Amino acid sequence: MRTGSEPTQARSPLRLRLGLTAWGLLWAVGGMIIFLFAGLPGWAAAFGAVALVALVDMGVVIRHIHQGAHYQPGRDIPPYWPVDRGRRR
C-alpha cells in the first residue's frame, strides 16, 4: 500500500549501477575482441553495440553522481497521506 512518504525515502544506488555498468562494459569489450580474432564480425558488432550502450549508461550515471543530491524534505516535513486513506476498496 502506498503511504505517500516514498519520495522522501527513495534513493538510487548510483555507485552500484556504475560498478555493474563497468563490469558489463569490460565483458562486452572482451567479447568483442574475442569474436574479432575468431573471425566472426557479426557477433563482434553485437558485443560492440552492447559496449556502446554500457558506455552511454556509464556517462549518464557519472553525470547523475556529479549533480549531487537533490532537494529532499527534512524530517520536520510530514509525509503526504492520500485522500482516500480511510476508504475501503
Which pLDDT does position 68 carry in this prediction? Answer: 75
Which cell numbers in the block locate residue 39?
A: 573471425
Nearest to 20 by CA among 32, 28, 31: 28
What are the structural domain ranges in the chain? 13-67
- What is the pLDDT tens value at each position of the chain, 89 positions in all? 555 565 555 667 889 999 999 999 999 999 999 999 999 999 999 999 999 999 999 999 999 888 877 655 666 766 666 566 555 55
What is the rounded distance in angstroms from the CA atom of residue 84 to the CA atom of residue 72?
25
